[in-house]
Amino acid sequence: MASLTASSPPPMTEIHSWVLDSPGQLRILRASLYEALIGKPFPAEAQLDDVPEKMVLVATELASNALRHGLPPTVVRLCRAGDDFVLDVSDRDPRIIPEFAEARPPGAGGMGLQVARKLALDIGWYVADHTKHVWAKFPAGT
């Protein structure tokens, strides 16, 4: 498996954060993140045509990975970095290096980093204060 490139995100300012302890909280994260981005509740039939929906999907995938493979708590932060948004998802297990799932059959899971790589402008990971962070950058101008 190929590892995600270790790199720090651009300098950023936190807008909002969520602390997750279980997968059941992902639904709340999705709705709250969408509302933080555009000021409206997440639509039931959202399309992936614009940035807020893409960010919600990537946040869900990265948070699911952290909940499944990391140590609690999982923290999802919505940040601003100049003209971009940055999602920063952290957990307390810096020993587990994020890896891309390769050669898995459809429906076998493990595609969160692939989804993030496809939908985000850039992704990476880093360790700070014994905490692993996986981040994804998106344009804020849409």
* Digitized pLDDT (tens) for each residue of the chain, 142 residues in all: 688 989 999 999 999 999 999 999 999 999 999 999 988 666 666 554 588 999 999 999 999 999 999 999 999 999 999 989 999 999 999 999 998 877 666 655 568 899 999 999 999 999 999 999 999 999 986 4
Tell me, yes or no, whether 3 lies in a domain.
Answer: no
The model's pLDDT over 3-23, given as tens digits with 9 standing for 90+, comes to: 898 999 999 999 999 999 999
According to the model, what pLDDT value does residue 142 have? 47
According to the model, what pLDDT value does residue 48 have? 44
The model's pLDDT over 29-41, given as tens digits with 9 standing for 90+, comes to: 999 999 999 886 6
Tell me, yes or no, whether 123 lies in a domain.
Answer: yes
Tell me, yes or no, whether 30 lies in a domain.
Answer: yes
Tell me, yes or no, whether 83 lies in a domain.
Answer: yes
Tell me, yes or no, whether 51 lies in a domain.
Answer: yes
Tell me, yes or no, whether 78 lies in a domain.
Answer: yes
Tell me, yes or no, whether 2 lies in a domain.
Answer: no
According to the model, what pLDDT value does residue 50 have? 82
According to the model, what pLDDT value does residue 42 have? 61
Question: CATH number, domain at 71?
Answer: 3.30.565.10
Residue 18: give the domain boundaries.
13-139
According to the model, what pLDDT value does residue 99 have? 87
3-state SS track over the chain: CCECCECCCCCCEEEEEEEECCHHHHHHHHHHHHHHHHCCCCCCCCCCCCHHHHHHHHHHHHHHHHHHHCCCCEEEEEEEECCEEEEEEEECCCCCCCECCCCCCCCCCCCHHHHHHHHCCEEEEEEECCEEEEEEEEECCC
Count how many domains the chain has. Answer: 1
Tell me, yes or no, whether 5 lies in a domain.
Answer: no
